Amino acid sequence: MKIIVCVKEVPDTTEVKMDPEQGTLIREGVPSIVNPFDAFALELALQIKDEHDDIEIVTLSMGPPHAEKSLRETIGMGADRAVLITDRAFAGSDTWATSYTLSAGIKKLGGADLVFVGQQAIDGDTGQVGPGIAQFLGWPQAIFVRAVRNIGDNEIEVERITESGYDVVKLGNPAVISVIKLPKDPRLPSLRGMMKAKKAEIAKWGVADLDVEERNLGLSGSPTRVMKIFSPPKRKDGEIFEGEPAELAAKCADLLREQGIV
């Protein structure tokens, strides 16, 4: 069984610079890490590998050349091999173009039994890439997944959180699974894993290596645009009201009237 885990390299800080003209983040000079939700997706895949024989885990990323560092970290954690999709033509991709490109990479890998992705990326927070990949591949999907209950040759059973609890969902394989933060932190790279990662050959694919249409790639191929980006203003300290219930209710009502809310 082959599990592909899609991984994104993201800035390791909230103090990022923004390009107001392009509506994108300026990543040069900013330390990067594996997107935390993707690390949880990899951890869930590794847990499956711990319990089943003959599981191959491939990590797949689309990004600049330096994203190779994050992919080596995933090999250190336990992934078998990694592929980096990198080309200037992919720069500025929105979630649609990213999903399109990653799905092409999955096809070039010969498909998979399962594709795991993090529920969202901390630099975009859209949660759209997982469903986008599923749409391009024509596969079933489950989002907000917190656990895998059972996995077989033709079916996977997962727990998906909801506002009131969780659902148990069964999907046919192949499928795309979007993973949330797990109760257990992702494992750290082992010494043996780090030695393997240092020697590993990371495959690098560009536009010429994929079956894609260039008009669907990068910023020019992205159907959505960020019209305005800005840092939100800092919130003022809150005000604490003390007193009897009736008195507190009156104070709250007065405050709402002062703000023009009621």
Per-residue model confidence as pLDDT tens for the chain (262 residues): 999 999 999 887 656 666 666 656 666 667 889 999 999 999 999 999 999 889 999 999 999 999 999 999 999 999 999 999 999 999 989 999 999 999 999 999 999 999 999 999 988 789 999 999 999 999 999 999 999 999 887 899 999 999 999 999 999 989 999 999 998 899 999 999 999 999 999 999 999 999 999 999 999 999 998 776 666 677 777 778 888 999 999 988 988 898 888 7
Q: What CATH number is associated with residue 192?
A: 3.40.50.620
In a domain, 71, yes or no: yes
Total structural domains within the chain: 1
- Sequence-separated (6 or more) residues with CB below 8 Å from residue 34: 7, 8, 9, 10, 42, 70, 73, 74
In a domain, 227, yes or no: no
- CA–CA separation, 93 and 86 (whole Å): 12
In a domain, 171, yes or no: yes
pTM of the model: 0.82
- CA–CA separation, 156 and 174 (whole Å): 9
In a domain, 229, yes or no: no
Among 36, 41, 26, 225, smallest CA distance to 125 is for 36
In a domain, 163, yes or no: yes
Domain range for residue 146?
A: 2-216
**Dihedral pair phi/psi, residue 155, rounded to 5°:** -155, 145
Q: Which residue has the tokens 């996977």?
A: 156
In a domain, 222, yes or no: no
